[in-house]
């Protein structure tokens, strides 16, 4: 399918708002000149927001908790790791998406603001996210959640982190996750798949930019580490069921399919849904793209489905 007309307008608006600075610094690129929070759309009004800090092995991490105002006792939980190539973004930029999911699913959603590369390379962001999961497990009573209904999720680089956290949780038995929600995750360093070739440039996420982010995040010596590159995993004991959301016009589309198939071949329950006409990042494009709300509703329904009973 061709690009959706709403996506075309989004890409045009993004191009017009691009930084005009030649060779911008990392600080300038991180400054969010376009205001991505506004691009994501409004927050849900029936959700309370609370800020706290989670202590990881190397830092105190800003953490945001979204709780439905009508939350029921023993609610499910989603521990969320945001996207941004492990280099950019922050948890509050995802307030619209995460509050929408909390509202629609009845889950308590906990966003972890992990440390960023290249200043903090793997395993630091991964360790931060895993510490966030353990904190949620240990504070289940305080959060009002059922410890048997905890899941992890993330988009793009956050999807990588969620997949890796789900692997370690299964391998260690530290947490029996109810699900893993992977939104167009980057889970492999194979850049030769067809979706990379078809969408190398002009679709929001550029192939050269994705490769740069991988290099920023993972030291060469860690390229075979399954918690850095989940596609490298060769054992899936105890790994949670997965639901995978993909965009048709995304360089990461094919690796998302491949990882879902790898999980399924290992006996893990997997649901994959692709949004036609969409590009990478559409989960956060609510101001421009109706499908941003469709995917949030689908994720919410999947959380309910995976935590019933």
* Positions marked catalytic: 156, 250, 280
For residues 123 and 227, is the Cβ–Cβ distance under 8 A? yes
For residue 203, the tally of other CB atoms under 10 A from its CB is 22
Strand partners, 150: 77
Strand partners, 79: 110, 152
Render the burial of 25-43: b for 16+ CB within 10 Å, e for the rest.
eeeeeeeeeeebbebbbeb
Alpha helices in 45-193 (DSSP H): 95-105, 124-138, 140-143, 157-172
For the record, the structure tokens of 86 come out as: 């492990």
Helix%, strand%, coil% for the chain, nearest 5:
40, 20, 40
Three-state DSSP state, 132? helix
For residues 35 and 90, is the Cβ–Cβ distance under 8 A? no
* Beta-strand pair 179-183/145-155: parallel
Can you spell out the DSSP letters for 20-80? -SSS--HHHHHT-TT-HHHHH-PPPSSEEEEEEEEE-SS-EEEEEEEEETTPPTTEEEEEE
Closest CA to 52 of 132, 138, 153: 132
For residues 206 and 200, is the Cβ–Cβ distance under 8 A? yes
């Amino acid at each position: 399918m061709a690009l959706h007309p709403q996506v075309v307008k989004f890409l045009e608006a993004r191009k017009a708002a691009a930084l005009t600075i030649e060779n911008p610094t990392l600080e300038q690129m991180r400054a969010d000149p376009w205001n991505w929070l506004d691009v994501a759309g409004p927050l849900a009004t029936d959700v309370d927001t609370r800020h706290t800090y989670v202590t990881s092995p190397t830092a105190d991490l800003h953490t945001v908790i979204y709780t439905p105002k009508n939350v029921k006792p023993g609610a499910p939980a989603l521990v969320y790791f945001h996207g941004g190539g492990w280099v950019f973004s922050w948890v509050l930029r995802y307030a619209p998406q995460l509050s929408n999911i909390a509202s629609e699913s009845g889950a308590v959603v906990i966003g972890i603001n992990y440390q960023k590369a290249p200043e903090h390379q793997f395993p630091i962001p991964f360790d931060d996210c895993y510490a966030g999961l353990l904190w949620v497990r240990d504070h289940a009573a305080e959060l009002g959640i059922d410890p048997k209904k905890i899941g992890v999720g993330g988009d793009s680089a956050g999807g990588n982190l969620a997949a890796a956290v789900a692997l370690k949780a299964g391998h260690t038995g530290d947490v029996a996750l109810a699900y893993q929600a992977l939104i167009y995750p980057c889970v492999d360093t194979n850049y030769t798949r067809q979706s990379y070739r078809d969408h190398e440039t002009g679709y929001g996420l550029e192939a050269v930019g994705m490769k740069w982010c991988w290099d920023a995040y993972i030291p060469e010596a860690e390229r075979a580490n399954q918690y850095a590159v989940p596609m490298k995993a060769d054992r899936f004991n105890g790994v949670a069921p997965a639901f995978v959301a993909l965009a048709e016009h995304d360089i990461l589309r094919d690796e998302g399919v491949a990882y879902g198939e790898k999980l399924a071949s290992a006996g893990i329950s997997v649901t994959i849904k692709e949004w036609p006409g969409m590009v990478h990042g559409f989960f956060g494009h609510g101001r421009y793209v109706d499908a941003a709300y469709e995917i949030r509703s689908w994720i919410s329904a999947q959380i309910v489905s995976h935590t019933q009973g």
